[in-house]
Amino acid sequence: MPRGRPSRATVYQRLTGLIDELRTRLGGLPSPDESAYVWADIWHLEAHHSTALEGNTLALREVETLLERGKAVGAKPLREYMEVKGYADAASWVYPKRWVPATGLPVS
């Protein structure tokens, strides 16, 4: 058995095989419309956990309400809500500017 990391070609070959299996065996990934609730849930969890690591005490439901409705619910200091809102605004600005590694160009 070879030692060390597999080559890039091996990793890509294995990834291509797994993607093909996903499409044939499981019917592929859901469309963005079909999985909108999953992406919203991921967004809420990310905002909650990222700010909680910095000491924010908002509960997940408070973060969800803030991001979905723009309303601060609960009796926490305004600073807590502003921190989550600031994180969400910054992430919303940064994420669309991601780069395609192979070309070094931004994704349109």
How high is the mean pLDDT in each 10-residue block of the chain (108 residues)? 84 91 79 79 93 96 95 93 95 75 58
Task: Spell out the residues 6+ positions from residue 32 whose beta carbon is closer than 8 angstroms to its own.
Answer: 39
Task: Spell out the residues 6+ positions from residue 45 whose beta carbon is closer than 8 angstroms to its own.
Answer: 60
Can you give the residue ranges of every domain in the chain?
A: 1-30, 36-96
Q: What is the pLDDT of residue 71?
A: 94
Q: What is the pLDDT of residue 105?
A: 57
Contact 98, 90 (CB under 8 A): no
Q: Name the pTM for this structure.
A: 0.62
Neighbours of 44 (CB within 10 A): 19
Contact 41, 22 (CB under 8 A): no
